[in-house]
Amino acid sequence: MGLLGPRIVGPAARLVSTLVGRFGPSARLAMLNVRSEPRRFSAAVVPLVLVVGFGLTKIALHTTAEHRTGSPGSPGEVWLDYAGTALYAGFAAIAAANTLCMISFERRRDIALLRVIGTQTRQIRAMAAWEAVVVAGTALLLGAAIALGTLAPILDTAFGSPVPYVPWTVLAGIGAGTLLLTLSATGLPVRAVMRRRAITVVGAA
What are 156-205's pLDDT values in tens digits?
999 999 999 999 999 999 999 999 999 998 888 888 877 776 666 655 65
Stronger pLDDT, 14 or 59, i.e. the higher one: 59
**Burial group, residue 89, by CB count within 10 angstroms (0-12, 13-18, 19+):** buried
pLDDT average, residue stretch 131-149:
89
Identity of residue 23: F
**Burial group, residue 119, by CB count within 10 angstroms (0-12, 13-18, 19+):** middle
Q: Which pLDDT does position 204 carry in this prediction?
A: 60
Cβ neighbours of 81 (radius 10 Å): 16
DSSP-assigned letter for residue 3: T
Distance between CA atoms of residues 194 and 205, nearest Å = 14
pTM of the model: 0.86
Name every residue whose Cβ is closer than 8 Å to that of residue 72 and which is 6 or more positions away in sequence.
62, 63, 65, 66, 78
Closest to 15 in 3D by CA, of 43, 34, 41: 34
Closest to 135 in 3D by CA, of 63, 186, 81, 189: 186
| N-term to C-term CA, the chain | 34
pLDDT average, residue stretch 70-93:
87
Name every residue whose Cβ is closer than 8 Å to that of residue 41 and which is 6 or more positions away in sequence.
9, 13, 34, 103, 131, 134, 135
Q: Which pLDDT does position 199 carry in this prediction?
A: 67
For 42, half-sphere exposure in the C-beta direction (CA atoms, 13 angstrom radius) is: 19
